[in-house]
Chain A
Amino acid sequence: MQKNILVADDDMDVVTFVSTVLEKSGYKVIGAKDGEEALNKIRANRPDLIILDILMPKQSGIKLYRELKTDESLKDIPVVILSAISKRTFLRSQEALTEFGGEPVPEPEVYIEKPVEPDDLAKTVSEVLSRKGG
């Protein structure tokens, strides 16, 4: 059965690039241009994997990631972060939010700092989905 992947990025060039790579590998891709739209589409479509940017309008990937990982019905969906924001910043921000009273959240399945090569992206997605039993 065809796997659904949601790509959230405010840069439409990135959404197009990721969609092209993943569609060639046989996945169905749903695009979202900001964190709010992504969350709505995740709830509506329950994708098999999420590729998430961090610095986005309306709701950042940091907040969205936290919402996903603290939502019982969504927390098992694997998340690959694809962002120009460093992994170190991502982890520190999550620590800071936990210190402010939030729930601790696990690290993402994979963290890729932009840019990414098409083959590496396809391979990463395939590996994460295999690990999750896909």
Chain B
Amino acid sequence: MKIKKLLFVTDFEQLWFDALQSLMDLRKVGLEHVIFLHVIEREKVAMHRGVGYLKDEETKLREIANIRFIDWAEGLFETGMECGAYILVGSPVPKVLSVANEEKADLIVIGAHKGTETIEILRRTSIPVLVHKYDIKKNERPFERPILVTDWSSPCERAIEYLIALKDILKNVVVVHVIAEKSIKGLNRTEIQKIEKENKKRLEEVCDTLSTEGISSEFHLYMGEVVEQIKNAISEHNISLVVAGTTGKGAWRARWLGSVSRKLVQDSQLPILLVPKAG
């Protein structure tokens, strides 16, 4: 599983060239090609009563985007990178998905501030999605200290494979599992300790897998409300990136894409790499 081609989706409000440059460590693990995508939302240029389709407005918006993309592309081309660009008019979600499929992108990078669209993209793709939160002071090198949040699902296994593909740019991986509050409801202390022991063993196994690949890692077990505990783990371990699997139907998709986790995606200061089930 390699990241050779990255689709960088920008509305020129949140993600700029510096955010893309923060991902250039990926070149060390195979990134060769960056595709820029800007979607001009249809309502900005669509038919308006009395004035019709705003062709001049579309031309202006296209040129504003084009001039940025040319500038960014020149920066990348000069370093030997391959580069392409799309400026499309329409609804962002279908356009992002169709370009990602057409270009066979290995990673979609999007901003988080338009929460509904971001969540919708996550629901409808099997391509890993990086919800990028860029702040030069906090995450200049987002891949150095990721936290892998696992619920033992198959997408989490895929997320581990993904991390292994990134091994040359990782410094240390923090592997975390949260025992959900509701899963221990009504259990006695011994039963809870048994669950703890089982989960620790599985966490150890993940760290062993990473270690076999030469990746430094540590594990931590949490218990309680899942999103709150993930937030705790992030602040406790000097994390640069959150990595998690998302399933189509299972609990993780529900947790990550539900109202609480949506808040995490939107509010977290860190980039979040979501790895869906293979398509």
| A→B interface (CB under 8 Å) | 34, 54-60, 62-63, 84-86, 89-90, 92-93, 96-97, 99-100
Contacts and interface: CB of A to CB of B under 8 A. Distances in A.
Given A55-B69, A57-B103, A84-B66, A62 B82 contact: yes
A58 B84 contact: yes
6 contacts: A54-B77, A58-B103, A85-B70, A96-B78, A96-B79, A97-B80
Interface residues of B, number: 17
B70 A84 contact: yes
B86 interface: yes
Interface of B: 35, 66, 69-70, 73-74, 77-80, 82-86, 102-103
Nearest to A93: B77
B84 A85 contact: no
B102 to A, nearest CB: 8
Given A84-B70, A85-B70, A85-B73, A55 B85 contact: yes
B84 A100 contact: no
A90 B85 CA distance: 16
A90 B80 CA distance: 10
Q: Which 8 A-B pairs have the closest CB atoms?
A: A96-B80, A93-B77, A89-B74, A92-B78, A57-B84, A84-B70, A55-B73, A97-B80
Contacts of A90: 77
A92 B66 contact: no
Given A57-B86, A60-B84, A92 B77 contact: yes
Given A84-B66, A84-B70, A85-B70, A57 B85 contact: yes
Contact of A62 (B35, B69, B77, B85): B77
A57 B86 CA distance: 7
A124 to B, nearest CB: 22
